[in-house]
Amino acid sequence: MPAEIVWAALDCPGGWSSDLTGRPMVLGTMTAEVLRLPRVDERCVVVGRLDQTDDRRSSTSTTLYGGDTALLARAEAVWVRVDPEVFNRLAAP
């Protein structure tokens, strides 16, 4: 499995650990470390955690565990709050 897929798996769970429905956010930065790539048929568990939040930012951590519960990858991210009106205007086709 490519490392890019692992990075993608680490991205969203951290964001969803914050209240995205009440406060839209976009990914500001993400730093990840892949310790081992999962096998294509390996069952994995991804855990997202909200570490800290303030008026403008949320810091999150995400971990990926393999079928044997070994840590495969981890990431830390900063999510930045955006004004819902600006977000909706930019997202419109």
Query: Residue 34 sits in a domain of what CATH number?
Result: 3.10.129.10
Residue 48 in tokens = 């997202």
pLDDT at 22 over 80: no
Selection from 21, 25, 83 nearest residue 59 by Cα: 25
Q: What's the pLDDT score for residue 15?
A: 87
Residue 75 in tokens = 């990431």
Q: Per-residue confidence at 77, pLDDT binned at 50, 70, 90?
A: very high
**Between 16 and 73, whose confidence is greater?**
73
- Where in the sequence is the domain holding 38, given as residue range(s)? 3-91
Dump pLDDT digits (tens) for 34-62.
999 999 899 999 999 999 999 899 999 99
CA atoms within 13 A on the CB side of 35: 10
| Domain count for the chain | 1
Supply the pTM of this predicted model.
0.84
CA atoms within 13 A on the CB side of 44: 24
Average pLDDT of the segment spanning 53-80: 95
Phi/psi of residue 26, nearest 5 degrees? -125, 155
